[in-house]
């Protein structure tokens, strides 16, 4: 029987939090009755600088529900950093930690299979989405493109897996050794290399509120993942430069032939198009290089990923 902790990052989750705690409490009670988890298991909610009553609700639930523990970050640190904060604190409280978003769109029934796999010796169990019909069409399409882009760019990750996963204490101790500022857990955790498995995860509709992962944030996360784990974009720029060089050689041959044949027509259109095209390519290239330099700039500062202002449940 294991001591389990779920970790849920919370940013303005006031509309769903009480209902989520109720559902998880019923589920935990069922697992305790089955002998799957110990009665001192817990659900840890990480307040990521919410502007609504999220932390007040977590504090209230902590006083009323023995499962509930809370962590309040000093400011909004971002989804990935909030998950990391929760895991690093919870690893000292539990034998295994499951990360799941506070809206419970992930299938909580898959948690039982995660526990079974953990008991069989797997240190990491990924929840893989097998159905996203509850998500809007645009989100489904952008998510598919997100995973395919990562794969093409050489980022090692689990396809259709977000941040619903189980990690053992051993895996979390190893994760703590990765001292990265540009945190992208979906690419970082597979690098640990411990035995892993997957379980099916069917996404359900969000009961209230709205998703915090907008298309802009999804694109930002994809950019973080690619630039933090792959140098393929730089090589692609080199290949593009070689292609342009070959094209230029071809154009030079054509121009020389036209001059000899006396068919060359002077005009500004081709010149202007060339200037704008080459200028655009140069700007894109400089931008990609700038992203990598920016990553180096952030890494060498070694600023903390998060600052914890208060912890509920650390009385022992």
Confidence of residue 218 (pLDDT cuts 50, 70, 90): low
Question: In a 3-state reduction of DSSP, which class is residue 207?
Answer: coil
Which pLDDT band, with edges at 50, 70 and 90, does 125 fall under?
A: very high
Instruction: Give the predicted TM-score (pTM) of the model.
Output: 0.75
**pLDDT for residue 289 is more than 90:** no
Average of pLDDT values for 181-198? 88
Which residue in 129, 123, 188 sits closest to 164, CA to CA?
129
State residue 303's pLDDT score.
Answer: 63
Q: Domain 4-210+304-312 sits in which CATH superfamily?
A: Spore Coat Polysaccharide Biosynthesis Protein SpsA; Chain A (3.90.550.10)
50 in Cβ contact with 89 (< 8 Å): no
* Alpha helix stretches (DSSP H) within the chain: 14-34, 54-64, 79-90, 110-119, 137-152, 169-175, 185-188, 215-229, 232-261, 269-301
**Which tokens hold the place of 39?**
């009665």
Q: Tell me the mean pLDDT in the region 116-145.
A: 80
Checking if the pLDDT of 315 tops 60, the result is no
Closest to 41 measured CA to CA, from 27, 59, 23: 27
Percentage of the chain surpassing pLDDT 90? 46
Cα distance from N-terminal residue to C-terminal residue, the chain: 21
Q: Which helix (H) or strand (E) holds 199?
A: strand 196-202
């Amino acid at each position: 029987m294991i001591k389990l902790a779920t970790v849920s990052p919370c940013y303005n989750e006031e509309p769903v939090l009480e209902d989520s705690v109720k559902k998880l409490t019923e589920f935990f009670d069922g697992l305790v009755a089955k002998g799957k988890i110990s009665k001192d298991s817990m659900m840890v909610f990480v307040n990521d600088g919410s502007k609504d009553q999220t932390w007040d609700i977590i504090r209230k639930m902590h006083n009323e529900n023995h499962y509930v523990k809370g962590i309040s970050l000093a400011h909004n640190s971002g989804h990935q950093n909030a998950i990391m904060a929760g895991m690093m604190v919870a690893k000292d409280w539990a034998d295994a930690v499951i990360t799941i978003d506070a809206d419970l769109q992930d299938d909580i029934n898959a948690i039982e299979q995660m526990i079974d796999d953990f008991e069989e010796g797997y240190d990491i169990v990924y929840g893989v989405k097998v159905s996203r019909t509850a998500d809007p069409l645009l989100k489904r399409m952008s998510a598919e493109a997100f995973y395919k882009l990562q794969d093409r760019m050489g980022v090692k990750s689990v396809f259709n897996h977000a941040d619903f996963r189980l990690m053992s204490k051993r895996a979390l101790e190893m994760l703590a050794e990765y001292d990265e500022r540009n945190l992208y857990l979906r690419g970082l955790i597979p690098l640990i290399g411990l035995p892993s498995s997957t379980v099916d995860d069917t996404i359900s509709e969000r009961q209230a509120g709205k998703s915090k992962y907008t298309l802009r944030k999804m694109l930002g996360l994809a950019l973080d993942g690619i630039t933090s784990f792959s140098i393929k974009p730089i090589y692609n720029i080199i290949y593009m430069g070689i292609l342009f060089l070959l094209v230029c050689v071809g154009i030079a041959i054509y121009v020389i032939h036209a001059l000899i044949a006396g068919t060359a027509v002077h005009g500004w259109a081709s010149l202007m198009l060339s200037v704008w095209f080459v200028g655009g390519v140069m700007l894109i290239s400089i931008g990609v290089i700038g992203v990598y330099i920016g990553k180096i700039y952030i890494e060498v500062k070694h600023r903390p990923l998060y600052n914890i202002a208060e912890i509920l449940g650390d009385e022992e």
